[in-house]
């Protein structure tokens, strides 16, 4: 049991560090953007996604994954069997509306605080509990945090490329 507790603390410290690093890098970039740069196109296939749209997507996605972790801990299904990730992503602008950069960043901070709060509350044996993720299939709670981190890093790279950095 003591080894499991050490692993839990090690995982928690690892993901707190990784999530902090990726968020600091994202905010360092976003804090320097002009209003026009927030409207730079990042993706143009289907609906056009701007920097602001991608940030809204990151916030909504992280919020969803935190809800998944909560459901996994309660033994509940994470997503319905007929969940369609492309349809969900396509409805992003309808769900998030025209949110200001300041509001997006505040939402990102609040969502990350909740993510870390949930992580802090994890019991030692819960890191290996599993639930179905929309694109990765069945993954552990530990892998949910890996996914949040990788998702943020990936979209930070997309934003940098769109801005020519």
Q: What is the pLDDT of residue 115?
A: 97
Query: Which CATH number is correct for 2-163, 3.90.45.10, 1.20.120.450, 2.30.30.90, 3.40.640.10?
Result: 1.20.120.450
Q: What is the pLDDT of residue 48?
A: 86
Q: What is the pLDDT of residue 9?
A: 87
DSSP per-residue string spanning 59-103: HHHHHHHHHHHHHHHTT--SS-TT--HHHHHHTHHHHH-S--HHH
Are 96 and 54 in contact, with CB atoms under 8 Å apart? no
Are 158 and 54 in contact, with CB atoms under 8 Å apart? yes
The ranges of the chain with pLDDT < 70 are 1-7, 91-96
Q: What is the pLDDT of residue 47?
A: 79
pTM for the model stands at 0.91
Q: What is the pLDDT of residue 4?
A: 59
């Amino acid at each position: 049991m003591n080894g499991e507790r050490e692993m839990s603390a090690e995982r928690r410290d690892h993901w707190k560090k990784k999530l902090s690093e990726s968020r600091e890098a994202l905010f360092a970039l976003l804090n320097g953007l002009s209003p026009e740069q927030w409207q730079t196109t990042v993706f143009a296939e289907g609906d056009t996604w701007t920097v602001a749209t991608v940030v809204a997507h990151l916030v909504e996605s992280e919020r969803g994954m935190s809800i998944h972790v909560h459901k996994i801990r309660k033994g509940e299904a994470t997503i319905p069997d007929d969940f369609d990730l492309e349809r969900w992503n396509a409805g992003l602008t309808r769900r998030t509306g025209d949110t200001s950069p300041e509001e997006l960043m505040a939402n990102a901070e609040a969502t990350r605080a909740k993510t870390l709060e949930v992580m802090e509350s994890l019991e030692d044996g819960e890191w290996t509990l599993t639930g179905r993720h929309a694109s990765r299939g069945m993954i552990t709670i530990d892998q949910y945090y890996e996914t949040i981190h990788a998702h943020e890093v990936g979209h930070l790279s997309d934003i940098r490329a769109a801005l020519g950095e």
